Amino acid sequence: MAAPAGPKRYPLTGEVVSVDRLHDRLTVRHDDVPGLMPGMTMEFAAAAGDVASVHPGERIRAQLVADLQAPRLESIWPDDRAATDAVAAGQRHLREDTHDRGNSVYRDLGETLPDFALYDQSGRVVQSGRFRGKQVMLNFIYSRCPFANMCPAATMKMMATQRLAAQAHIANIEFVSVTLDPEHDTPGVLHDYASARGIDTTNFSFLTGPPGAIRDLLTQFGVVAEFEGEILKHTLATLLIDQHGKIVWRADGSEWEPKDFVARMRRP
């Protein structure tokens, strides 16, 4: 197969100078792009989700699509030192934890949520400690899932559960969807995924991060995800974690009901 035609892509790093959400443009003071141009401050087009998930003064890494008419940035990741250090430490911790648990790596009911550090759909670092004292409903999805009865249905059910929990006046609940496809699902892609569905993100976040950290989380939660060509074949698991961090309920597959989860949430 011939290589796809079109503009060349280059890795780019730099600091966000300003963000134009109205026109989906970012101004970035970028470092040298070897083979293309020296470091300079310039404007790029970007997806709405990317524009929403970066912040002036923050360092990013991205793919520059070198279209001369309209240079674009894609695959944008936060690249601030403090953020990447926190996420890398979370990844190391998970790796050691998965290794140390050996044959008992699977976290069953009654066990606790492992520690992790990932990025949310706004590009902010989310550490598991943020959920201390809160109940958490957690599942795994990926934005490109083509199977209507898998991730798209799971997201609809999470949204329905969020509404039902609010109606039941359950206040201390967070909904969390971790991506199965961190290579593609950047914070900006997840931001677009949430806003395309009109999701209320005040207590519903979408998490992504280093593939190794995601892989260890999947292992600990007994979720299988393997690419077959372009398609990511995967299982589904939906978990309820109580305010002490303990896994109190779990549904495998797609046949769970929002009301069954809400019934198991602790009332105020």
Which residue, judged by CB position, is nearest to Cu ion in the bound state?
A: 145
| Contact by Cβ (8 Å): 41, 12 | no
Dihedral (C-alpha) 47, 52, 57, 63: value to the nearest 10 degrees? Answer: -20
Residue 159: CB minimum distance to Cu ion, A = 16
Name the residue nearer to Cu ion (CB basis): 56 or 147: 147
Q: Which amino acid is at 62?
A: A
Name the residue nearer to Cu ion (CB basis): 33 or 153: 153
Report CA-CA distances (Å) from 194 to 3, 4, 163.
Answer: 32, 30, 15
Strand partners, 175: 137, 204
Name the residue nearer to Cu ion (CB basis): 150 or 241: 150
Residue 104: CB minimum distance to Cu ion, A = 28
Residue 181: CB minimum distance to Cu ion, A = 9
Residue 142: CB minimum distance to Cu ion, A = 6
Contact set with Cu ion (CB under 5 A): 145, 150-151
Name the residue nearer to Cu ion (CB basis): 152 or 212: 152
Q: Who's near 121: CB < 8 A, 6+ residues apart?
A: 49, 53, 187, 188, 190, 191, 193, 194, 201, 205, 206
Name the residue nearer to Cu ion (CB basis): 144 or 250: 144
**Residue 113 DSSP class:** P
Tokens of 86: 């926190």
Residue 242: CB minimum distance to Cu ion, A = 27
Q: What are phi and psi of 192, to 5 degrees?
A: -65, -40
Location of structure tokens 């009911």: 109
Residue 148: CB minimum distance to Cu ion, A = 9
Name the residue nearer to Cu ion (CB basis): 140 or 261: 140
Q: Between 211-221 and 81-101, two packed helices, what is the crossing angle to 10 degrees?
A: 40
